[in-house]
Structure 1
Amino acid sequence: MVDIYFSASLIFSILIPLLFFVISMLKTITSTSILTKLPKSYILFGSFLAILKKRERFAQWTSEIITSTPNLTFTLRHPFGRRLVFTANAANVQHILKTHFHNYDKGHFFRSTLRDFLGDGIFNADGENWKFQRQISSHEFNTKSLRNFLETVVDSELSDRLVPILENAVAHDTVLNIQDILQRFAFDNICKIAFGYDPGYLSVSLPEEKLAVAFEKAVMLSSDRFGAIIPYFWKIKRALNIGSEKQLKIAVREVREFAKEIIREKKQQLDGKSGQESSSVDDLLSRFLSSGHSDEDFVADIVISFMLAGRDTTSAALTWFFYLLSNNPEVESEILREIKEKQEAASAYDEVKEMVYIHASLCESMRLYPPIPMDTKEALSDDVLPDGTVVRKGTRVTYHPYAMGRVEKVWGNDWAEFHPARWLDRENVTKEWRFVNRDSYTYPVFHAGPRICLGKEMAFIQMKRVVAGILCRFRVVPVVVKGAEPVYEAGLAAKMKSGLLVRIEVRTEEAS
């Protein structure tokens, strides 16, 4: 009997610690979410069912998976053996966008999906074609051009159109969709820069301008192609010219016909100038035509790509910014203080350049809600990423700015908070704010490496000018249903789903 009790106690003394060890291991595995986050994958269909279920919030879903993995990287298996690598690992991003830049192109999948809309424009081009377009375009983003853009294009659009619309909303107690207003503002601006053409889309009547409507439809339907789990479906519809593909064809034709009409008019203007005058060009279209490229389709590709970049990114970023600001009155107060301090600057350009706190606030907003949530490259040959992930030739690799803004070990355990001060430090002597930048591989909101966004500075000066121009006069108050949070909707550029309804209130001296 003693032997039985001894044996039983010995067994329990071994099993109980072992049981606790197993439970501990399971908790560890669960905490890394290897068992709970990665979607189930089947031999032929991959993770088709999970992708289908999560397609409406694909960026958020893949972000949750990435941030749950130890190396911030995972492979998603699509039907028929296709694989897509997702990463939020800064070392991997640097490897893809800089160190091994030569091995990662836009790739066939991306180019073929957007070719009908963007053609061979800079955002859909690789190799020498991309290099040429970038070289010509870079002249549009020097200090002189940026100063001219701010003081002529942005300021006139702000004072002559945006402010009167907001004043009208105050006078009539009108609810505005601020995302729509800002998109109209950005569309007018980019058309002036790209074409030297003013569509007048931001007028008090908020017109349904033909080019803008066709462009919006082309963007939306092109984005839907990426959402197709099986790409053959949209290709079949395109071949048969039915459904959404028929609508896309019509929208793209309208955009291209309009672009070509503007190109012809611009050619006539340049031909009518003297040699000295024609060398002094002030819009992107003129630069490309003056470089000797007169092929209308190619030049239209270039300009449409820049219209896409300039229209959606800044308006989406500013929409989320105003929403976050409404929930953080202490940040708004600090911004107002800075606006008052910088009003004595020598010029509008100097004023926005010195707005450090607003700059940090915009960076923080785009950390949480980047205008481009994901970007994909395609491997030209077999490779191994710095974290050990094997990439086979033809595999698409997606770096994920949305997920990268949510990595706790990078941003801290308060990563979910809107906290502009994380980008700032105090000067020892003056005690003024000093901006502390993050490297572009940790914060790739404006891409990174050789393809880093040419329009980064242009975007910042435009956004800062808009923020200062609005907030010094008005309060932007969201009209939000209690318990309803805005939805981040990913596409070619990410927007706030259905926009942001707001009331505009005049800012009194006491309120400011």
Structure 2
Amino acid sequence: METQTLQAIFSLLFFSFTFLFLLFALLMKVLSVSRRRYCECEVCKAYLTGSWLTQFPNLADWYAHLLRNSPTGTIHIHVLNNVVTANPTNVEHMLKTNFHNYPKGKRFSAILGDLLGKGIFTADGHAWHSQRKAASLALGGASVRKNAFNVVTKEVETRLIPLLSSMQGSVDLQELFSTFAFRTICKISFGFDPEELELSRPLSEYVAAFDRASMLSALRATSAIPLVWKVKRFLNIGSEKELKQAIEIVNELATIVISNCRKSDSENSHDILSRFMHTGNGKEIDDVYLRDVVVSFLLAGRDTVASGLAAFFLLLSTNPSALSAIREEISHVTEGKRDHEMSYDDIKSMHYVHAALHESLRLLPPVPFDSKFAAGDDILPDGTEITQGTRVMYHSYAMARMKSVWGADCKEFRPERWLSDDGVFTPESPFKYPVFQAGLRVCLGRELALMEMKTVIVSVLREFDVEVALQNGDLPRFAPALTTSFKGGIPANIRRR
């Protein structure tokens, strides 16, 4: 009896000490940033109080406003120890010239590591290099590109077009394209239809869990005091408890995917996960590594494609001249052909479609900004001083709205800016247009993503009129997520032509 009493007292003292220690650590952290929190900087005050919401619908729009008014195109959010830039010269410095000083960093890994693990999006150094090499080998083969095109065209012909035909009227484009992209990325990356898996819960629950984990992970990065979410994670309470539960469901799906892939393992498989399994020089790749591969490809292949497609139809809906030009090009290239008869070369030859998609991605990039953490002190080309540990962010969304970068018509949807006088697509510097990153970390799946989006665009616009139902012509607000997502979705009316 006495032993049990002593154990109870000891447990009480232990948890009381732990709680007081965490409270003390939190208090010290608050005091350590107090000088930054109360630096009399109007930008920091606006961030902490949320007063920017009275003028701007989204944080990204407020940042764009601040960057436009900055002589250098760079600002400092002191309460976040965050330098934000929309200056292409700075972007080139970060992503190319002084690349090794701007890794993802341990703080980035801490924010997203619970969801993304040690995958290619959070890794640095040797781990990143080896994963990138494996991803390059897995994505680089002609057979992979051919298989991806066949998967996309079949999904469009047998599922997307019939689905749109059956549900003519009101539809949420964001949800529609999210479901489509999830199916295609599973087939391309993992080699199976997700609905054919033996799952312990409805597929929609896994998708919802992934979305919830993405949202809650993104919210971590907005905290002026990261210790707050770290304490919540330690105590397993609030949003961190919800995040943990969502990630457990994501992990459950990843385990099923890996198991399914191992059962059908073949060195001749065209799916990407099977190719990753054979990059170990004869050694079996462990499931923890493969779990991070699965989650990374779901984020890159599903979320970004769905976001890009939803944004494209959103912008096209208010630009009838661009829609007419796209349909004219589609008609010319595909004359006499059905959807399943279109070739990869047909899709590649559509320069105006390519330009319109790039213009859409410029204005509403699927990843509106990207962050690095300075490994050492540095000075950016515009003269901004960077201290070790500073979060340095280049803001693609804001760059699209800079007259100094894109000219006086920067806010307009104008595909012609990408075309030469004879109508040939002409790319811009990737440091001016870092939608797919640039330099050594440039997106390896860029061509596959563009192919998938263009195939959907061409097929849908051949068959249907898509009119997005915008209220007062305003763009919808963004929802918290790792990729561009819209609150309330993208409602649209679909009519067969």
TM-score bucket of the superposed structures, by smaller chain = 0.7 to 0.9
Task: Find the residue that maps to 2:121 and give its secondary structure.
Answer: helix
Q: Which residue of 2 aligns with 1:50?
A: 46
Note closer, same or farther for the CA distance 1:74–1:47 as it changes in structure 2 (3 Å cut): closer
* Residues 348-367 of structure 1 mapped to structure 2, 5 A cutoff: 348-367=343-362
Asked if the contact 2:147–2:270 (Cα under 8 Å) also holds between the matched residues in 1, the reply is no
Alignment pair present for 1:237 and 2:227: no
Alignment pair present for 1:438 and 2:438: no
Q: Which residue of 2 aligns with 1:333?
A: 324
Give the whole-Å Cα distance in 1 for the aligned partners of 2:70 and 2:41: 23
Q: Which residue of 2 aligns with 1:273?
A: none
Shift of 1:179: 0.8
Show structure 1 runs of 5+ residues with no match.
Answer: 1-39, 202-206, 271-277, 428-432, 508-512
Asked if the contact 1:147–1:349 (Cα under 8 Å) also holds between the matched residues in 2, the reply is no
* Residues 174-185 of structure 1 mapped to structure 2, 5 A cutoff: 174-185=169-180
The one-letter code sitting in structure 1 at the alignment partner of 2:62 is W
Q: Which residue of 2 aligns with 1:135?
A: 133
Shift of 1:483: 5.3
Give the whole-Å Cα distance in 1 for the aligned partners of 2:94 and 2:308: 25
From 429, 434, 452, the counterpart of 1:462: 452
The one-letter code sitting in structure 1 at the alignment partner of 2:321 is E
The one-letter code sitting in structure 2 at the alignment partner of 1:106 is K
From 310, 317, 320, the counterpart of 1:319: 310
The one-letter code sitting in structure 2 at the alignment partner of 1:392 is T
> What's the Cα RMSD here?
2.1
Greater alpha carbon shift after TM alignment, 374-383 vs 190-199: 190-199
Q: Which residue of 2 aligns with 1:109?
A: 107
Note closer, same or farther for the CA distance 1:489–1:63 as it changes in structure 2 (3 Å cut): farther
Task: Find the residue that maps to 1:425 and give its secondary structure.
Answer: coil
Greater alpha carbon shift after TM alignment, 133-142 vs 455-464: 133-142
Give the whole-Å Cα distance in 1 for the aligned partners of 2:416 and 2:69: 26
Task: Find the residue that maps to 1:441 and give its secondary structure.
Answer: coil
Shift of 1:59: 1.4
Q: Which residue of 2 aligns with 1:259?
A: 254
Give the whole-Å Cα distance in 2 for the aligned partners of 1:488 and 1:216: 14
Query: Cα deviations across residues 100-128 of structure 1 (Å, max 9, x unaligned)?
Result: 11111101211001111110011111111
Note closer, same or farther for the CA distance 1:290–1:338 as it changes in structure 2 (3 Å cut): same
Shift of 1:244: 1.5
Q: Which residue of 2 aligns with 1:95?
A: 93
Task: Find the residue that maps to 2:167 and give its secondary structure.
Answer: helix
Give the whole-Å Cα distance in 1 for the aligned partners of 2:75 and 2:256: 47
The one-letter code sitting in structure 2 at the alignment partner of 1:503 is N
Give the whole-Å Cα distance in 1 for the aligned partners of 2:248 and 2:404: 48
Give the whole-Å Cα distance in 2 for the aligned partners of 1:70 and 1:145: 49
Give the whole-Å Cα distance in 1 for the aligned partners of 2:94 and 2:149: 37
From 150, 153, 156, the counterpart of 1:155: 153
Give the whole-Å Cα distance in 1 for the aligned partners of 2:233 and 2:397: 31
Alignment pair present for 1:279 and 2:264: no
Task: Find the residue that maps to 2:429 and give its secondary structure.
Answer: coil
Give the whole-Å Cα distance in 1 for the aligned partners of 2:323 and 2:219: 37
Shift of 1:300: 0.4
Alignment pair present for 1:218 and 2:213: yes
Shift of 1:151: 3.4
* Residues 179-198 of structure 1 mapped to structure 2, 5 A cutoff: 179-198=174-193
TM-score (norm 1): 0.83
Count of matched residue positions in the alignment of Structure 1 and Structure 2: 445
Greater alpha carbon shift after TM alignment, 287-296 vs 230-239: 287-296
Task: Find the residue that maps to 2:84 and give its secondary structure.
Answer: strand
Asked if the contact 1:284–1:303 (Cα under 8 Å) also holds between the matched residues in 2, the reply is no
Q: Which residue of 2 aligns with 1:480?
A: 470
Asked if the contact 1:319–1:496 (Cα under 8 Å) also holds between the matched residues in 2, the reply is no
Give the whole-Å Cα distance in 2 for the aligned partners of 1:135 and 1:471: 37
Task: Find the residue that maps to 2:452 and give its secondary structure.
Answer: helix
The one-letter code sitting in structure 2 at the alignment partner of 1:286 is S
The one-letter code sitting in structure 1 at the alignment partner of 2:82 is L
Asked if the contact 1:423–1:436 (Cα under 8 Å) also holds between the matched residues in 2, the reply is yes
Greater alpha carbon shift after TM alignment, 220-229 vs 463-472: 220-229
Task: Find the residue that maps to 1:125 and give its secondary structure.
Answer: coil
Task: Find the residue that maps to 1:175 and give its secondary structure.
Answer: strand
Asked if the contact 1:48–1:229 (Cα under 8 Å) also holds between the matched residues in 2, the reply is no
Shift of 1:152: 2.1
Give the whole-Å Cα distance in 2 for the aligned partners of 1:266 and 1:142: 20
Give the whole-Å Cα distance in 2 for the aligned partners of 1:143 and 1:298: 22
Superposition misfits of 4+ residues, deviation over 6 angstroms: none
Asked if the contact 1:401–1:444 (Cα under 8 Å) also holds between the matched residues in 2, the reply is yes
Give the whole-Å Cα distance in 2 for the aligned partners of 1:472 and 1:156: 16
Q: Which residue of 1 aligns with 2:298?
A: 307
From 503, 507, 510, the counterpart of 2:493: 503
Query: Cα deviations across residues 313-344 of structure 1 (Å, max 9, x unaligned)?
Result: 12112112112111111111110011111116
Query: Cα deviations across residues 178-231 of structure 1 (Å, max 9, x unaligned)?
Result: 111001111111112222232249xxxxx8623212211211211121222321
